[in-house]
Structure 1
Amino acid sequence: MHAATGPSRAELLAALSVAVDLGLGQPAEHMLRSALIGTRIADRLGLDRAQRDCVYYTALVMWIGCHADSHEYARWFGDDIAVRRDSYSVDWSGLPYYRFLLSNIGRGQPISRRLLTIASLVVSTRAQLVALIHSHCTSAALLAERMGLSRDVQHALGFTFERFDGSGLPHGAAGEHLPIAIRVAQLADTVEVHHRTLGIPGAVAVVRSRRGGQFDPVVADAFLADAEPILAGPPAGDTWHAALHESPDRGERLDGAELDTLLRALGEFVDLKCPFTLGHSRAVADLAAGAARSAGLDEAEVSTIRRAGYVHDLGRIGVSYRVWSKPAVLTPGEFEHVRLHPYLTVRILSQVPGLREVAELAGNHHECVDGSGYPRGVVGGALRMPDRILAAAVSYQAALEPRPYRPALSAADAERRVKERVQAGELDAAATEAVLYAAGRRALRVRPRPHGLTPRETDVLRLVATGASNKEIAAALVISEKTARNHVERTYAKIGVSNRIGASMYALQNGLVN
């Protein structure tokens, strides 16, 4: 793809924001409109260009860390998307907030399990929330760095759950200790939802009620003094273009290498939703590209397949972790959500210039040559060789990975599985052979142990990265839980991270998974 016609970083981040909208339970373009509202408030506050730019990107990706800690959220609240959607109606402070938490703990679980979860959290509510929110904030900053955002944006995201009055988490920062970008972004995010659901009076009312509490009075007053024009437009369907018009770097196009780097980061971001899919997108991309090259496709097609592999699962963000982590057979309604995720991938990417072919290919990764796939049930002739290769690569790679309903398969069993799908008419025979050839070459690679990690610490890191608790690490390695905890702490210290997300990203970047 030529740099002059490729997407900009702002356009790819806009697509990411649409994916995050789905994870928040909000309509597409919620965060884009929040960014637009944020820049209008920034202008009324007289912020300089650098501050305005920081407000824009902070508002656009403010909740990026929520996706990465869906695993932890679901442990407490069951449906990670539903609780985030409903939390917009509550001021995150005092008794109303604790009442909201208690009413949502264990949501959708059997009453006995829900009572145990409530009891576990009530014992140390604040400590548990501090740990969860600290993980969110450090994860958000790390992901923002991977997306190429500035240090100012990374710093601002660390204050997402803080409040102007100092009653927020995790550190209780107050007043002007909160970066101005997050003070504006918090208000913009909240008023966008309340304006959309309750109109201008609802948006004004929520700002007045939280002025001096969650919101900086100066920022609140700037909004209240000019609420109607700040919230005005754009017309339905124009939000994408209007918001991107305000982006800091909308004219700077990515070259091929930069585009690959950012698409790979998007895939890694998606895989963090479920610990058992860590590294899946990158592995699929590499496998599919290798298969495409061995099948004789030209380098342009190989590049397109690799890029589609990186982002094929973006739509997974819009499906609750409760569905992905279910160890039993899905209900028809749950499976319908699963069936939609390739469609959501196309929807997320469809407006990004230069990625139309990538989006279409990514959206076909669960289609089958006999028409039995999803989401569209495309039949044979409509599926090109790149479509068939990507579908075979996804099937083979997924078989190598654990799932809640089965352990990871060996390479031999994964090969047997995809060949059975060929015999059943689901996968293309030539595409599958190309994938198996590429998989055999990949298996020859040696995984390094960087930063002086011992073999045991490397094993611990891989387990942490895939969501294992200290107790589960102890069981897997046949050691005591205390020893497992010590290994985790030493490993974190060696690689310079403080939580599972940091460990996961480190493991990915250093080739320690997949």
Structure 2
Amino acid sequence: MQLDETISVEDAVQVLAMVGDLSMGLPPDHSVRTARLAARLAEENGDAADACTSTRLVGLLRWSGSTATAPGFSNLLGDDVLGRHAMVTRTLSGNPNLTLPNVLPLAEMQCEVAGDIAALLGLAPDVEEALRHLFGSHARGDMQDALFAPNIPRAVFYVRLAGDLEVLAPAHGTEGAMRLIGERAGVKYPATLVERLAPHAQDWLDALGEPSCAADYAGHDRRVPLTIIADVIELKLPWLAGYSRRVAALAKRSAVGAGLIALEEKPLVRAALLHGIGRVAVPNSVWQRPAKLGDLDWDQVRKVPFWTARAAVLVPAIAHDTTLASFVYERLDGSGYFRKARGEAIGPQERVLAVAAAYAALTSPRPWRPAHGEAAAGTLLVAQAGAGRFDRQAVSAVLEAARSMAPKPGRAKPVRDALLSSREVEVLRHISLGETSREAARAMKITPASVRTHVDTIFEKLEASSRPAATLKALTRGLI
């Protein structure tokens, strides 16, 4: 089903900035503050207004690719959220896995995905180029050797320096932050830029409540698909790819059957696409726990809708959508979270959203269980409605919608373009969900070598060098 909801470029950037911050374990306004500080640096260095604007956008999208590297950092650090926070604040020590050969491929992946996000949003080429160089490049050697290459955009240095000051000052104080920054002067950023910052560091940090350059750049109000945000969020857990799209499509198809009027359908679909914002704040190790979640795990999971609701404060344009989205885990009997809302406190849209999300989750495979069949999922939801957790009419509407949307036997899912062959699309569907070449080969009854050959071809055709980047592009093009 085509999902036509859109968001302005500037609002999308703001949402993605928050998603990146939460994914890195940072305060949800960290990238906003970094962007303002980086813009001040650009101004102090004599850059023109358009360069200031580009620097601001690079600062906002600095961590936008971090969902793509969450699985890798989870493997390296155990906790991709708190671990990365400790890493960037330089409070992490004694981890033997933090070596350049281990970290550099993840840094490259993060740059690639951030650059692709900028391209999907239609941002200026210099913004995309800066994001692609923000953490180094294989093509130019390691991260230190690449710093002073003549084709590295200046915004890279402004954002690196601003980001380090903004993230290190709370952990080490401004003086301590400048001391740590000084150790990398001439290595991570030009020493002259550090000297220019030093006299202003505390004053600029104190004044970061005020923007230093405008957010009304050319094209800031152009509309882009809201699905971009959902897709970026779900790169955090490969097996989630396309999940929010499925929830949105189910909710849209269920709206009439659930008794909603036409005006209620649009915010319902938007909420479905945004309901996963808070998920990025929870470590991957919790989401992939093979055993029953413990009390501490549940404490983190219950914060997911809280952080989704928090987006309403930081990005007012989506306030209604994210407030609605934050009810996705509430239940009529009060057993849900995070508000413990019950009964009439949960409106008709919220009831449909809750059931659509539950059905989409039940019928999707998870690391700890296979997907439930449609009949089994329906039986579970009907039982939950009978127990007073879900709305009966909403359950009936979602199950009817699911039946009407089920692919006909023997009919392949249509795609919007013919860039990839049908076999390549099949391979991509498997690897986009996090399957290894061996797992995909077993499912498709081909050899792992054949899968790897197809993957190489897919990457070449999509101009991608990593699975998250290929997944993001494929979802956008309707290939998977």
Within-5 A mapping of 1:7-406: 9-90=9-90, 101-102=95-96, 126-162=100-136, 168-169=142-143, 172-234=146-208, 239=209, 242-243=210-211, 246-249=213-216, 254=221, 258=223, 261-406=224-369
- Classify 1:13/1:453 alpha carbon distance in 2 versus 1 (closer, same or farther; 3 Å): closer
- Classify 1:437/1:23 alpha carbon distance in 2 versus 1 (closer, same or farther; 3 Å): same
Residue 146 of structure 1 aligns with an amino acid whose one-letter code is L
Moved more, 363-372 or 70-79: 70-79
The CA distance in 2 between the partners of 1:148 and 1:510, in whole Å, is 15
Which SS does the other structure have where 2:66 is aligned? Answer: helix
Q: Does 1:429 align with 2:392?
A: yes
Give CA deviations for 1:414-466 in whole Å, capped at 9, x if unaligned: 22221121122111010111111222222248522543534432221111111
Number of residues paired by the alignment?
469
The CA distance in 2 between the partners of 1:218 and 1:168, in whole Å, is 22
Q: Hey, what does 1:447 align to over in structure 2?
A: 413
Give CA deviations for 1:374-410 in whole Å, capped at 9, x if unaligned: 1111111111110100001000111111112111122
Moved more, 383-392 or 411-420: 411-420
The CA distance in 2 between the partners of 1:507 and 1:252, in whole Å, is 25
Contact 1:195/1:203 (CA < 8 Å) preserved in 2?
yes
Contact 1:20/1:67 (CA < 8 Å) preserved in 2?
yes
Residue 40 (structure 1) shift: 0.9
Residue 42 of structure 2 aligns with an amino acid whose one-letter code is A
The CA distance in 2 between the partners of 1:30 and 1:376, in whole Å, is 26
Within-5 A mapping of 1:454-465: 454-465=421-432
The CA distance in 2 between the partners of 1:433 and 1:403, in whole Å, is 24
Which SS does the other structure have where 1:356 is aligned? Answer: helix
Within-5 A mapping of 1:435-514: 435-444=398-407, 447-449=413-415, 450-451=417-418, 453-513=420-480
Contact 1:9/1:249 (CA < 8 Å) preserved in 2?
no
The CA distance in 1 between the partners of 2:124 and 2:466, in whole Å, is 22
Contact 1:21/1:30 (CA < 8 Å) preserved in 2?
yes
- Classify 1:400/1:42 alpha carbon distance in 2 versus 1 (closer, same or farther; 3 Å): same
- Classify 1:415/1:492 alpha carbon distance in 2 versus 1 (closer, same or farther; 3 Å): same
Give CA deviations for 1:219-268 in whole Å, capped at 9, x if unaligned: 2122124323322334xxxx3xx34x63432797747xx2xx44321111
The CA distance in 1 between the partners of 2:144 and 2:429, in whole Å, is 27
The CA distance in 1 between the partners of 2:156 and 2:258, in whole Å, is 50
Moved more, 445-454 or 360-369: 445-454
- TM-score, normalised via structure 1 length: 0.85
- TM-score, normalised via structure 2 length: 0.90
Aligned pair partner of 2:382 in 408, 413, 419: 419
Which SS does the other structure have where 1:158 is aligned? Answer: helix
- Classify 1:159/1:452 alpha carbon distance in 2 versus 1 (closer, same or farther; 3 Å): closer
Residue 39 of structure 1 aligns with an amino acid whose one-letter code is A
Residue 512 (structure 1) shift: 4.2
Contact 2:81/2:283 (CA < 8 Å) preserved in 1?
yes
Which SS does the other structure have where 1:401 is aligned? Answer: coil
Residue 138 (structure 1) shift: 1.1
Contact 1:74/1:322 (CA < 8 Å) preserved in 2?
yes
- Classify 1:374/1:65 alpha carbon distance in 2 versus 1 (closer, same or farther; 3 Å): same
The CA distance in 1 between the partners of 2:421 and 2:300, in whole Å, is 42
Residue 44 of structure 2 aligns with an amino acid whose one-letter code is R
Within-5 A mapping of 1:1-12: 9-12=9-12
Give CA deviations for 1:164-196 in whole Å, capped at 9, x if unaligned: xx8743983534432100110000000012222
Give CA deviations for 1:448-486 in whole Å, capped at 9, x if unaligned: 254353443222111111111222223323333222211
Residue 361 (structure 1) shift: 0.8
Residue 351 (structure 1) shift: 3.4
Q: Which runs of 5+ in 1 are unaligned?
A: 1-5, 92-96, 106-124
Residue 144 (structure 1) shift: 2.3
Aligned pair partner of 2:373 in 394, 403, 410: 410
